[in-house]
A and B are shown apart, each in its own frame.
Chain A
Amino acid sequence: MKLELRGVTKRFGSFTANDRISLTVEPGEIHALLGENGAGKSTLMNTIYGLYSPDEGEILLDDQGVSFNGPGDAVDAGIGMVHQHFMLIPVFTVTESVALGYEPTRAAGIMDMAQARAKVLEISARFGFDVDPDARIEDLPVGAQQRVEIIKALSRDAKVLILDEPTAVLTPQETDELITIMGQLRDSGTSIVFITHKLREVRAVADRITVIRRGAVVGETSPQSTETELAGLMVGREVNLTTAKEPADPGEVCFEVRGLTVLNSADKVVVDHVDFQMRRGEILVIAGVDGNGQSELAQTVLGLRTPVAGSILLDDKDLAPLSVKQRLAAGLGFVPEDRSTDGVIGAFTITENYVLDMYDRPPYAGGPGNVALRLPVMREAAQTQAERFDVRMGGVDDPISTLSGGNQQKVVLAREMSRDLRLFVASQPTRGLDVGSIEFVHRTIIEERDKGTPCLIVSTELDEALNLADRIAVMYRGRIVGIVPASTSRDVLGLMMAGVPADEAQAQAATHHTVLAEADEQAEAEENK
Chain B
Amino acid sequence: MSASGSQQGMTPAPKPEQQSPWAEAEGRLSRVLRELGQTSWLVTVLAVVVALVVGAVLILAANRDVQASLSYFFAQPTGFLETSFQVLREAYSSLFRGAVFDWQAPSAARSIRPLTETMVYSVPLILAGLGIAIGFRSGMLNIGGQGQIILGATSAGFLGYALSMPVGLHVLLALAGGILGGAIWGGIAGVLKARTGANEVIVTIMLNNIAIYLLAWLLQQEWYKQTGSNQPLSSSVDESAQLFSLLGSGFRLHAGFLIAILATLGVWWLLERSTLGFEFRAIGENPEAARTAGINVPKATALVLVIAGGLAGLGGAAHVLGTEYRLAGGVAGTLGFDAITVALLGRSKPLGTFLAGLLLGGLRAGGVLMQAQTGTPIDIVLVLQAVIVLMIAAPPLVRAIFFLPHADGRPRIRTRRSRRTAKGAAPTGSTTERELQTSGAPSAGSRSTGPSGTQASGTGPNDTQPPSTTTQEPGK
Please list 14 pairs of residues, one from A and one from B, whose beta carbons are closer than 8 Å in the complex, sorted by A's number.
Answer: A42-B473, A52-B475, A138-B13, A214-B436, A237-B429, A292-B11, A341-B289, A360-B275, A372-B274, A399-B442, A399-B462, A403-B435, A406-B430, A437-B430
Within 8 A of A (CB), among B385-440: 408, 410, 415, 418-419, 422, 425, 427-440
Within 8 A of B (CB), among A153-190: 169, 171, 173-174, 176-177
Given contacts A173-B2, A399-B458, contact A304 B291 (CB under 8 A): yes
User: Judging by beta carbons under 8 Å apart, are A476 and B278 in contact?
Assistant: no
| Least CB separation from A302: chain B residue | B292
User: Cβ of B444: which chain A residues have Cβ within 8 Å of it?
Assistant: 394-395
**Interface status of B290 (Cβ within 8 A of chain A):** yes
CB distance from A376 to the nearest CB of B (A): 12
User: Judging by beta carbons under 8 Å apart, are A12 and B437 in contact?
Assistant: yes
Partner of A434, one of B3, B430, B463, B466: B430
CA distance A34 to B38 in the complex (A): 38
User: Judging by beta carbons under 8 Å apart, are B285 and A346 in contact?
Assistant: yes
Partner of A373, one of B13, B278, B288, B429: B278
Nearest 7 A/B pairs, CB to CB: A291-B14, A498-B9, A347-B458, A141-B10, A325-B294, A404-B435, A38-B432
User: Judging by beta carbons under 8 Å apart, are A12 and B8 in contact?
Assistant: no
**Interface status of B98 (Cβ within 8 A of chain A):** no
Given A323-B294, A328-B293, A401-B462, 12 more A-B residue pairs with CB atoms under 8 Å apart are A14-B418, A46-B475, A138-B12, A145-B13, A174-B10, A215-B433, A266-B18, A392-B430, A394-B442, A399-B442, A401-B463, A495-B2
Given contacts A324-B292, A352-B456, contact A144 B10 (CB under 8 A): yes
User: Cβ of B17: which chain A residues have Cβ within 8 Å of it?
Assistant: 264-266
User: Judging by beta carbons under 8 Å apart, are A39 and B433 in contact?
Assistant: yes
Given contacts A139-B12, A392-B427, contact A372 B275 (CB under 8 A): yes
User: Cβ of A326: which chain B residues have Cβ within 8 Å of it?
Assistant: 294
CB distance from A448 to the nearest CB of B (A): 19
CA distance A174 to B463 in the complex (A): 41
Kindly supply a per-residue 1/0 record for chain B positions 455-471, scoring 1 wherever the CB is within 8 Å of any chain A CB and 0 otherwise. 01110101100111010
CA distance A437 to B429 in the complex (A): 10
CB distance from B276 to the nearest CB of A (A): 7
**Interface status of A523 (Cβ within 8 A of chain B):** no
CB distance from B198 to the nearest CB of A (A): 18
| Least CB separation from A327: chain B residue | B294
Kindly supply a per-residue 1/0 record for chain A positions 389-416, scoring 1 wherever the CB is within 8 Å of any chain B CB and 0 otherwise. 0001011011101111111000000000
**Interface status of A508 (Cβ within 8 A of chain B):** yes
**Interface status of A78 (Cβ within 8 A of chain B):** no
User: Cβ of B460: which chain A residues have Cβ within 8 Å of it?
Assistant: 399
Chain A residues close to B by CB (< 8 Å): 12-15, 17, 36-43, 46, 51-52, 83-86, 90, 130, 138-145, 169, 171, 173-174, 176-177, 214-215, 235-237, 264-266, 289-292, 302, 304, 323-329, 334, 336, 340-349, 352, 356-357, 359-360, 365, 370-373, 375, 392, 394-395, 397-399, 401-407, 434-437, 476-477, 495, 497-500, 508, 511-512, 514
CA distance A356 to B435 in the complex (A): 22
| Least CB separation from A141: chain B residue | B10
Given contacts A346-B285, A434-B432, A477-B11, contact A498 B6 (CB under 8 A): yes
User: Judging by beta carbons under 8 Å apart, are A171 and B432 in contact?
Assistant: no
**Interface status of B474 (Cβ within 8 A of chain A):** yes
User: Judging by beta carbons under 8 Å apart, are B432 and A404 in contact?
Assistant: yes
Given contacts A83-B476, A139-B12, A290-B14, contact A349 B456 (CB under 8 A): yes
User: Judging by beta carbons under 8 Å apart, are A336 and B437 in contact?
Assistant: no
Given contacts A13-B408, A498-B5, A498-B6, contact A323 B296 (CB under 8 A): yes
Partner of B457, one of A15, A348, A495, A499: A348
| Least CB separation from A437: chain B residue | B430
**Interface status of B281 (Cβ within 8 A of chain A):** yes
| Least CB separation from A397: chain B residue | B447
User: Judging by beta carbons under 8 Å apart, are A365 and B9 in contact?
Assistant: no
CB distance from B444 to the nearest CB of A (A): 8
**Interface status of B323 (Cβ within 8 A of chain A):** no
CA distance A359 to B278 in the complex (A): 8
User: Judging by beta carbons under 8 Å apart, are B438 and A402 in contact?
Assistant: yes
User: Judging by beta carbons under 8 Å apart, are A237 and B10 in contact?
Assistant: no
Within 8 A of A (CB), among B10-49: 10-15, 17-18, 34, 38
User: Cβ of A90: which chain B residues have Cβ within 8 Å of it?
Assistant: 15
Given contacts A174-B6, A371-B274, contact A142 B432 (CB under 8 A): no
User: Cβ of B275: which chain A residues have Cβ within 8 Å of it?
Assistant: 359-360, 365, 370-373
**Interface status of B201 (Cβ within 8 A of chain A):** no
CB distance from A24 to the nearest CB of B (A): 23
User: Judging by beta carbons under 8 Å apart, are B447 and A15 in contact?
Assistant: no
CB distance from B277 to the nearest CB of A (A): 8
Partner of A348, one of B9, B18, B282: B282
User: Cβ of B408: which chain A residues have Cβ within 8 Å of it?
Assistant: 13
User: Judging by beta carbons under 8 Å apart, are A15 and B278 in contact?
Assistant: no
**Interface status of B209 (Cβ within 8 A of chain A):** no
Partner of B285, one of A176, A265, A348, A359: A348
User: Cβ of B75: which chain A residues have Cβ within 8 Å of it?
Assistant: none
CA distance A14 to B462 in the complex (A): 14
User: Judging by beta carbons under 8 Å apart, are B292 and A304 in contact?
Assistant: yes
**Interface status of B89 (Cβ within 8 A of chain A):** no
**Interface status of B245 (Cβ within 8 A of chain A):** no
Of the listed residues A143, A173, A327, the one surrounded by the most CB atoms of chain B closer than 10 A to its CB is A173
User: Cβ of B467: which chain A residues have Cβ within 8 Å of it?
Assistant: 340, 346, 401
**Interface status of B295 (Cβ within 8 A of chain A):** yes
User: Judging by beta carbons under 8 Å apart, are B292 and A373 in contact?
Assistant: no
CB distance from A81 to the nearest CB of B (A): 11
User: Judging by beta carbons under 8 Å apart, are B473 and A345 in contact?
Assistant: no
User: Cβ of A144: which chain B residues have Cβ within 8 Å of it?
Assistant: 10
**Interface status of B195 (Cβ within 8 A of chain A):** no
CA distance A499 to B166 in the complex (A): 79
Partner of A404, one of B292, B294, B431: B431
Partner of B432, one of A36, A52, A352: A36
CB distance from B473 to the nearest CB of A (A): 4
User: Judging by beta carbons under 8 Å apart, are B437 and A15 in contact?
Assistant: yes
Partner of B433, one of A40, A345, A403, A476: A40
User: Judging by beta carbons under 8 Å apart, are A334 and B282 in contact?
Assistant: no
User: Cβ of A341: which chain B residues have Cβ within 8 Å of it?
Assistant: 286, 288-289
CB distance from B256 to the nearest CB of A (A): 26
User: Judging by beta carbons under 8 Å apart, are B1 and A500 in contact?
Assistant: no
User: Judging by beta carbons under 8 Å apart, are A402 and B5 in contact?
Assistant: no
CA distance A521 to B18 in the complex (A): 43
User: Judging by beta carbons under 8 Å apart, are B434 and A38 in contact?
Assistant: yes
CA distance A514 to B431 in the complex (A): 34
User: Cβ of B435: which chain A residues have Cβ within 8 Å of it?
Assistant: 402-404, 407
CA distance A359 to B38 in the complex (A): 24
User: Judging by beta carbons under 8 Å apart, are A345 and B2 in contact?
Assistant: no
User: Judging by beta carbons under 8 Å apart, are B476 and A177 in contact?
Assistant: no
User: Cβ of A140: which chain B residues have Cβ within 8 Å of it?
Assistant: 12-13
| Least CB separation from A289: chain B residue | B11
User: Judging by beta carbons under 8 Å apart, are A476 and B437 in contact?
Assistant: no
Given contacts A38-B473, A348-B282, contact A404 B434 (CB under 8 A): yes
**Interface status of B472 (Cβ within 8 A of chain A):** yes
User: Judging by beta carbons under 8 Å apart, are B5 and A495 in contact?
Assistant: yes
CA distance A352 to B282 in the complex (A): 9
User: Judging by beta carbons under 8 Å apart, are A352 and B278 in contact?
Assistant: yes
User: Cβ of A41: which chain B residues have Cβ within 8 Å of it?
Assistant: 473
Partner of B281, one of A145, A323, A348, A371: A348
Partner of B466, one of A84, A237, A346, A375: A346
User: Cβ of A347: which chain B residues have Cβ within 8 Å of it?
Assistant: 34, 38, 285-286, 457-458, 463
User: Cβ of A477: which chain B residues have Cβ within 8 Å of it?
Assistant: 11
User: Judging by beta carbons under 8 Å apart, are A511 and B1 in contact?
Assistant: yes
User: Cβ of B278: which chain A residues have Cβ within 8 Å of it?
Assistant: 352, 359-360, 373
User: Cβ of B3: which chain A residues have Cβ within 8 Å of it?
Assistant: 173, 177
User: Cβ of A52: which chain B residues have Cβ within 8 Å of it?
Assistant: 475
User: Cβ of A290: which chain B residues have Cβ within 8 Å of it?
Assistant: 14
CA distance A130 to B7 in the complex (A): 10
CA distance A407 to B10 in the complex (A): 35
